[in-house]
């Protein structure tokens, strides 16, 4: 499974660990909110709609941050913007520990979102441009698995704090721990070089002509719009499930903090396993078939998990396929989106497609909270998640297969690799 790691060179390995670590720490900071949500609702006297709005605003600002950070990485460099975004979301998470009411938390989470979205955009492009094409799918999906590592770290921290401290101090200390990722920037600055061989991020003609909106040029417009739709479905399904799942387990299933942590641990381990399986399938069956397979399975497992009258033991067992299939789609997006764009607008395109989904998907956590006022929370989660993953199925059928596409990071062109491994003619349009 990890044979690729022995075949890559030291710069590729350092870049991999930098991106893996950054994404894992990012996930830890972000998932702290979902895990602490039941305690936050009690502490600030919020209803489900208000709590859902806080989750939604983070997705909106992360989308804007990802788009802007992607464009800035095209201009100023992937590594530099990666450093800035890690520091940004770490500091904002730390300040959340001092929120005194729901309004303050709303503002602070909105600010955190800018760094959260930007970190993925810069890191994903950096990794895609560094790694060789035959391993790109496996490596980017493995980087995505760091989300499970960070998520597990957040659950572990909260479970330990919940055991040692009463409710409110526990979540405040947990947010305070969110400052630690900022120290990771010291390693990032020393370990990894920029991806362009010429070492310059002066604006290319492609960038000067397009900037933030070059991805909507006639040759790229269709790819961008369909990619954004894919992002909406992928994020909408994930956040509809995972934002509210701890609350569902605690309120409707009446599980304690430690029991909830046990159920989430199964889902988190399954998420990591799903990323690993997706990593292998991406470079074997291709990006499109892999995403389609996982999306169909997400719809099926979500309906079973949330609609059927399961016992606690059955839910524990079914938590594994729920987390497993939820992982396959986000694990595929890094490779697919990077291979759809030329270098001059790659950061902008990847940042927009991945993070635009967060803007539209921001409505899903809010909608779950709103619907739960007139129906059981589990049913509201299931309906929203099934709708979102259905969008993934539609979108991926409209995109080209990009397996084997080589990224030309110097000339700003995307090129194809045929079965012999040699370069074909440059691609004028990713959907050609």
Task: Tell me the pLDDT tens digit for each residue of 181-224.
Answer: 777 776 666 667 666 533 344 444 444 445 567 788 888 889 99
Position 375 pLDDT exceeds 90:
no
The three-class DSSP label of residue 74 is: helix
Instruction: Compute how many other C-beta atoms are within 10 angstroms of the C-beta atom of residue 202.
Output: 10
- Quickly state the pLDDT bin for 415 (edges 50, 70, 90): very low
Position 395 pLDDT exceeds 80:
yes
Closest CA to 327 of 149, 148, 121: 148
Closest CA to 175 of 191, 163, 161: 161
User: In sequence order, which residues have a C-beta less than 8 Å from that of residue 291 and are 6 or more positions away?
Assistant: 230, 328, 329, 332, 336, 392, 396
Q: What is the pLDDT of residue 294?
A: 94
Position 296 pLDDT exceeds 90:
yes
- Quickly state the pLDDT bin for 338 (edges 50, 70, 90): confident
Q: What is the dihedral of CA 301, 305, 308, 311, to 10 degrees?
A: 140
Q: What is the pLDDT of residue 289?
A: 93
Instruction: Compute how many other C-beta atoms are within 10 angstroms of the C-beta atom of residue 357.
Output: 31
Q: What span, in angstroms and rounded, lies between the C-alpha atoms of 148 and 269? A: 7
- Quickly state the pLDDT bin for 311 (edges 50, 70, 90): confident
| φ, ψ (nearest 5 deg) of residue 406 | -90, 140
Closest CA to 349 of 235, 237, 222, 238: 222
Q: In this predicted model, what pLDDT tens digit does every residue of 284-295 receive, in sequence order?
A: 888 999 999 999
pLDDT mean over 244-266: 67
Domain ranges of the chain: 10-191+216-426
Q: What is the pLDDT of residue 291?
A: 94
Token output for 179: 């400052």
Give buried/exposed letters for 413-422 (b at 16+ CB in 10 A, else e).
bbbbeeeeee
Tell which wins on pLDDT, 138 or 63.
138
Rounded percentage of the chain residues whose pLDDT exceeds 70: 84
Alpha carbon 25 to chain centroid distance?
12
Q: What span, in angstroms and rounded, lies between the C-alpha atoms of 329 and 4? A: 21
Q: What span, in angstroms and rounded, lies between the C-alpha atoms of 350 and 215? A: 10
- Quickly state the pLDDT bin for 175 (edges 50, 70, 90): confident
Q: What is the pLDDT of residue 212?
A: 65
Instruction: Compute how many other C-beta atoms are within 10 angstroms of the C-beta atom of residue 68.
Output: 20
Which of 45-54, 270-279, 332-341, 377-386 has the least mean pLDDT?
A: 45-54
Q: Per-residue DSSP letters for 262-321? A: HHHHHHHHHHHHHHHHHHHHHHHH-HHHHHHHHHHHHHHHHHHHHHS---HHHHHHHHHH
Q: What span, in angstroms and rounded, lies between the C-alpha atoms of 117 and 54? A: 16
Tell which wins on pLDDT, 326 or 357.
326
Mean pLDDT of the chain: 78
- Quickly state the pLDDT bin for 376 (edges 50, 70, 90): confident
Q: What is the pLDDT of residue 425?
A: 34
Q: In this predicted model, what pLDDT tens digit does every residue of 106-147 receive, in sequence order?
A: 999 889 888 877 887 888 888 888 888 888 888 888 888 888
- Quickly state the pLDDT bin for 368 (edges 50, 70, 90): confident
Q: What span, in angstroms and rounded, lies between the C-alpha atoms of 128 and 119? A: 14
- Quickly state the pLDDT bin for 166 (edges 50, 70, 90): low
Exposure of 93 in the CB half-sphere (CA atoms within 13 A)? 31
CATH class of segment(s) 10-191+216-426: mainly alpha
Tell which wins on pLDDT, 168 or 385.
385
- Quickly state the pLDDT bin for 346 (edges 50, 70, 90): confident
């Amino acid at each position: 499974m990890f044979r690729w790691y022995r075949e890559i060179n030291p710069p590729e390995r350092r870049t991999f660990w930098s991106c893996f670590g950054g994404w894992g720490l990012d996930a830890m900071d972000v998932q702290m909110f979902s895990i602490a949500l039941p305690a936050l609702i009690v502490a600030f006297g919020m209803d489900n709609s208000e709590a859902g709005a806080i989750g939604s605003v983070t997705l909106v600002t992360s989308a804007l941050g990802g788009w802007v950070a992607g464009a800035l990485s095209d201009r100023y460099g992937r590594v530099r913007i990666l450093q800035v975004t890690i520091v940004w979301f770490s500091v904002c998470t730390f300040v959340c520990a001092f929120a005194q009411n729901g309004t303050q938390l709303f503002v602070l989470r909105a600010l955190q979102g800018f760094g959260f979205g930007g970190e993925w955009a810069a890191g994903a492009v950096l990794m895609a441009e560094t790694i060789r094409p035959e391993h790109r799918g496996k490596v980017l999906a493995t980087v995505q698995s760091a989300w499970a590592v960070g998520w597990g770290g957040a659950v572990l921290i909260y479970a330990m704090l919940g055991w040692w401290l009463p409710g409110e101090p526990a979540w405040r200390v947990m947010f305070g721990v969110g400052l630690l990722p900022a120290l990771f920037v010291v390693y990032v600055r020393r370990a990894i070089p920029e991806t362009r061989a010429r070492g310059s991020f002066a604006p290319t003609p492609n960038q000067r002509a397009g900037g933030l909106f070059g991805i909507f040029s006639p040759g790229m417009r269709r790819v961008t719009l369909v990619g954004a739709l894919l992002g909406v479905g992928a994020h909408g399904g994930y956040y509809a499930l995972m934002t509210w799942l701890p609350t569902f387990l605690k309120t409707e299933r009446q599980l304690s903090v430690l029991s909830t942590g046990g159920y989430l641990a199964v889902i988190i381990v399954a998420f990591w396993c799903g990323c690993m399986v997706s990593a292998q399938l991406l470079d074997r069956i291709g990006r499109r078939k892999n995403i389609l397979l996982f999306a169909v399975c997400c719809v099926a497992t979500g309906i079973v998990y949330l609609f059927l009258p399961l016992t606690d033991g059955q839910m524990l067992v079914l938590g594994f396929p729920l987390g497993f299939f939820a992982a396959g789609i986000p694990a595929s997006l890094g490779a697919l989106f990077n291979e759809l764009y030329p270098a001059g607008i790659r950061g902008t395109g990847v940042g927009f497609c991945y993070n635009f989904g967060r803007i539209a998907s921001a409505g899903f956590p809010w909608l779950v909270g709103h619907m739960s006022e007139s129906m059981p929370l589990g049913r509201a989660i299931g309906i929203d998640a099934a709708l979102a993953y259905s969008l993934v199925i539609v979108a991926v059928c409209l995109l080209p297969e990009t397996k084997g596409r080589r990224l030309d990071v110097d000339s700003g062109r995307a090129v194809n690799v045929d079965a012999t491994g040699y370069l074909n003619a440059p691609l004028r349009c990713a959907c050609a």
